[in-house]
Amino acid sequence: MNTKTLKILLSLFALNSITLYLYFSSHPDHHRSPSNIFGVSEYSQHHRPLSVKPWPILPSYLPWTLNPNTKFRSCEAYFGNGYTQRVDPLKPAAEPHRKVLPGGAGGGWFRCYYSETLRSSVCEGGRIRMIPDKISMSRGGEKLESVIGRKEGEELPDFEDGAFQIEVADRSRIGKTAVDEEFLDKYVQEGSVGRHTMRGLISSIRLVDADEFVCSKWIEEPTVLVTRFEYANLFHTVTDWYSSYVASRVTGLPNRPHLVFVDGHCEAPLEETWRTLFSSLTYAKNFTGPVCFRHAILAPLGYETALFKGLFQSIRCGGASAHDLWQNPDDHKTARLSEFGEMIRAAFGFPLDRHHIRKPISGHNILFVRREDYLAHPRHGGKVQTRLSNEQEVFDAINSWAPNHSECKLNVVNGLFAHMPMKEQVRAIQDASVIVGAHGAGLTHIISATPNTVILEIISSQYRRPHFQLIAQWKGLEYHPIFLPQSYAEPQEVIDKLSNILKGLGC
């Protein structure tokens, strides 16, 4: 064997070893995952598993190991695994006494991980049966044009008693609820949410015996149940994406889970990303009969994430690299939003090492995120609120100025996101050196921006809200605001600000 061949083999061995190490270190708590409680063979002869997507390797990933010493209101408690208090209202039957039944063993289970910092829980259970006919809501997933005028109340779920059921072997518990009101008040608090759908779902769970536990379909693989509220708004949808991602990591899932939308919202463009991030997507009402989940996870509402709560309470966290935090843990810094941004980019197939490289030959991209009219949901008139009254004028001024900038080649990108596929939106964000835009949900995309990206937000007097300043802060991105006396921006002021930003980039 020659030296060159030996080097190639050693390199491949080293790469394989690193990959295996990263995989197993990324799931150090896999024994907590109920997927392994009964063993795969129990169901494999009865049910054909659905295909699942593996987790990508993320440069900013840090282990999600359950750590009871996570400090209250630390950055990890807000953005990562602060769900440190485990409660088991229904424990699985002891293994030696279990009776194996066709389709799987009897005896389900239910537990929650509670975060004192966020005052919410990630809950999960096994052998859970969902009866769609006991959930009052519209079917969901329809074409928007076919449901114009439908009221929001029709799209959110109301649960009858027994809409969800768990099989139990203990006959003394048959017919009872899985949890009582005291449990809900402590671990699934309503807070400021007027209609807490996850609380309603858990409240509906009834315990049944094996004879009643009949399923028209079994889903063996872990499945996250999600209720969306403002599903057409990118900011609120990102909070739901993040909540589902966190729930998947907290429960130690070895692969990306399937999703079931427990709501009746119509089809929306943002579903493209839901389907890309996770293994599959189904609407609850699209099942034709009772469906049983071997392992179901209940994602907290998007309103319960730090992304939303930070709008009303002070979350003093800065962004840092995972490498720095691994070597020097800091309760006031986080890499979790960078990790999630990488998750989005990786899900769309983009390489994750490009933020280390700047290519001055191709120039710097200045992405101008535009606000466009589009029909968002059945109750929407198709017109967006104006946040920058002379947006076109400002864009045209930047477009005329950029070719004359002598220090660096500048490419101005017209970010017409409302009419771009989501993958192209993420690509534009990833490739941007500077992201400019009026305050609006489209700027939420900065969660996927690379570490050297600079944010310039133009803020009118009526929309002085901290959404994007906070995301930039939590990711460690350079951020600059322009505060307007009303909604008109002087184009030259924007150009002057851009010039100063570019100087910082070596231009």
**pLDDT value for 15:** 42
Strand partners, 26: none
Dump pLDDT digits (tens) for 12-41.
444 444 444 443 444 333 334 433 332 232
Cβ count within 10 A of residue 59: 17
Distance of CA 91 to the CA centre of its chain: 28
Mean pLDDT calculated for residue range 245-254: 98
467 CB-near residues (< 8 Å, 6+ apart)? 235, 311, 439, 443, 444
113 has pLDDT over 90: yes
Lowest mean per-residue pLDDT among 25-39, 264-278, 351-365, 422-436 = 25-39
Provide the residue type at 338 as one letter.
Answer: S
DSSP string, 2-65: -HHHHHHHHHHHHHHHHHHHHHHHT-TTGGGSGGGTS-THHHHTT-PPPP-BPPPP-TT-----
**CA 71 to CA 472: how far, in whole Å?**
23
Per-residue burial over 172-204, b if 16 or more Cβ lie within 10 Å, else e, is ebeeebbbeeebbeebbbeeeeeebbbbbbbbb
Q: Which tokens sit at 214?
A: 């009949």
pLDDT tens, 150-205? 999 999 999 999 999 999 988 899 999 999 999 999 999 998 888 999 999 999 99
Q: Residues 72, 77, 79, CA angle at the centre, nearest 5°?
A: 150
- Whether 201 and 160 have beta carbons less than 8 Å apart is answered as no
| Burial (CB count within 10 angstroms: exposed 0-12, middle 13-18, buried 19+), residue 52 | middle
pLDDT at 235 over 60: yes
Supply the pLDDT for residue 497.
97
Q: How many CA atoms lie within 13 A of 155 on its CB side?
A: 23
In the chain, count H helices and then E strands. 15, 23
CB 487 within 8 A of CB 462: yes
Question: What is the distance of C-alpha 471 from the center of its chain?
Answer: 14
Between 27 and 324, the higher pLDDT residue: 324
What per-residue confidence (pLDDT) applies to 16?
Answer: 47
Section 318-333 average pLDDT: 97
Average pLDDT over residues 452-459: 97
> For 66-94, what is the mean pLDDT?
93
Share of the chain above pLDDT 70, in %: 85
Q: How large is the average pLDDT for residues 289-310?
A: 97
Contact 379, 149 (CB under 8 A): yes
How confident is the model over 220-241, as a mean pLDDT?
A: 96
- What does the alpha-carbon distance between residue 154 and residue 288 come to, in Å, rounded to a whole number? 19
Q: What is the pLDDT of residues 468-502, one digit of tens each?
A: 999 999 999 999 999 999 999 999 999 999 999 99
When pLDDT is cut at 50, 70 and 90, the band that residue 377 belongs to is: confident
Q: How much is the average pLDDT of 34-58?
A: 58
Please check whether residue 446 is in contact with residue 475, taking contact to mean a CB–CB distance below 8 angstroms.
Answer: yes
Determine the pLDDT at residue 363.
Answer: 87
Mean pLDDT across the chain: 88
Q: Name which of 182, 178, 171 is nearest 211 in CA terms.
A: 171
pLDDT of residue 446: 98
Read off the amino acid at residue 139: R
Residue 99 has a pLDDT of 39
Burial call 324-347: b when 16+ CB within 10 Å, e when fewer:
ebeeeeeeebbbbbbbbbbbbbbb
Secondary structure (H, E, C), 299-312:
CCCHHHCHHHHCCC
Read off the pLDDT of each residue in 339-356 and give the average, rounded to a whole number.
Answer: 88
Q: What is the pLDDT of residue 106?
A: 58
- Write out the two tokens for 235: 């900011």
Nearest Cα to Cα of residue 235 among 443, 460, 458: 443
Please report the pLDDT score of residue 22 as a whole number: 43
Q: Hey, what amino acid is at 374?
A: Y
Per-residue confidence (pLDDT) for residue 375, from 0 to 100? 65
- Name the pLDDT band for 335 (thresholds 50, 70, 90): very high
User: What is the C-alpha to C-alpha distance for residues 407 and 503, in angstroms, rounded to an integer?
Assistant: 9
**Contacts of 19 by beta carbon, 8 Å cutoff, 6+ apart:** 57
Residue 280, helix vs strand vs coil? strand
What is the per-residue pLDDT for 361? 53
